[in-house]
Amino acid sequence: MDVSPWVFVVLYASILFTVARALPLPRLLLRGICAYVLLLAMRMVAMWLVALEAPVDAIPLVDPVTGLFYPDDTPFLKDLFFSGHTATLALMVPLSRGRIARLTMMVCTALVAALVLLQHVHWTIDVFAAPVFTGLAWWASGLSLRLFGVKDD
């Protein structure tokens, strides 16, 4: 089932909401950016080490933003381990301030995780691994910023 529009509505709305609320907290925003860069680096290494084939019945996610950059309008289907969509939304959880905002981001993360599985664009391990890598990136970003003398908000 193609649920691409729902994946990207939830994804982009969650990112905009969280980043807008984090703007008055520059150290928190800096930590989020550092964690995201670490997350991307870990994802590149993980995809290099764990090159999975796409599920046979995978329906490609059609991102209205990054899809503009696909060569020949063909989405890449081998960027599986670990789910970048789930990881990105999982990163919105520690970036959120307030119990309701964090709970909302947890629900949004679970929703996108379920949607990418429903669309068969990821293996289950890809989705379950994403929050683990996100937690590691968040921890490492805090450690690296403290080493450079930047304190948390």
Mean of the pLDDT values across residues 33-62? 85
3-state helix, strand, coil in the chain (%, to 5): 70, 0, 30
% of the chain residues with pLDDT over 70: 89
Going from N- to C-terminal start, the domains of the chain cover: 4-57+79-147
Looking at residue 95, its pLDDT comes to 96
DSSP string for residues in 46-86: HHHHS-PPPPTT------TTGGGGSGGG-------SS-HHH
pTM of the model: 0.86
Mean of the pLDDT values across residues 63-87? 72
Confidence of residue 71 (pLDDT cuts 50, 70, 90): low
Mean of the pLDDT values across residues 44-60? 80
Looking at residue 50, its pLDDT comes to 79
Give the model confidence (pLDDT) of 94-151 as tens digits: 999 999 999 999 999 999 999 998 888 887 888 999 999 999 999 999 999 988 887 7
Looking at residue 148, its pLDDT comes to 86
Looking at residue 107, its pLDDT comes to 97
- Alpha-carbon distance 111 to 8, whole Å? 11
% of the chain residues with pLDDT over 90: 57
Stronger pLDDT, 13 or 153, i.e. the higher one: 13
